[in-house]
Structure 1
């Protein structure tokens, strides 16, 4: 069973994502910003990351750059979900494997997760 790290400062969105992904059989760990997510990565080994863009402390782009700089996890697929900044994710294929606009279609997100996990 694959573990997915969900990074979003809006806890309601993180919870919705967690419930939907758990219903599909995934394990889910969450973090409220990029800095906390890096701490989670030290103890958890997720198979995929879903991150928001606009977050306090460390935004989604800074977080993705930090992940790509860590040899043990730089290969992980990262999906960006964002209201206003999804276009940045689409332009940064070096950081993000997919980018979805908020509000997102949960079925499209789950399909993309399954596609990226093979």
Structure 2
């Protein structure tokens, strides 16, 4: 089963994403910022990361740059979810494998995730 790390400092958004992804059969880990995400990655193997852009401590761009510089995580798909910064992210395909504009619907999220990681159960 594919495990996804959701990184967002807004608990309500993390919870909603978690429910949608778990309902589609994925396992979900959560972190409140990029630094916490790195701590989770030290302990848990994930197949995909979904991150917000604007967060305290380490934002989504800083997190993506750090992961792309690390051979262990370089190939891991990263989806950015953002409102105002989505255009900036689209100009950085070396950092982000997908960009979700806020607000987005669950079906769009699941379709993007399924395009980047194996579907649950096979």
Q: TM-score range by the shorter chain?
A: over 0.9
Gaps of 5+ in 2: none
Distance 2:15 2:84 in 1: 21
Matching residue of 1:16: 16
> Where do 4+ consecutive residues of structure 1 move more than 4 Å?
none
Q: Does 1:59 align with 2:68?
A: no
Q: How does 1:43-54 map to 2 (within 5 A)?
A: 43-54=43-54
Distance 1:58 1:44 in 2: 19
Gaps of 5+ in 1: none
Query: What is the CA deviation profile of residues 22-64 of structure 1, one whole-angstrom value per residue up to 9, with x for unaligned ones?
Result: 0111000000000000111111110000000000001100000
Distance 1:88 1:117 in 2: 24
Q: How does 1:5-44 map to 2 (within 5 A)?
A: 5-44=5-44
Matching residue of 1:104: 104
Distance 1:60 1:101 in 2: 14
Distance 2:105 2:22 in 1: 16
Matching residue of 1:86: 86
Which structure exhibits the higher relative contact order, with contacts defined as CA atoms closer than 8 Å and separated by 6 or more residues? 2
Q: How does 1:64-75 map to 2 (within 5 A)?
A: 64-75=64-75
**TM-score where L is the length of structure 1:** 0.97
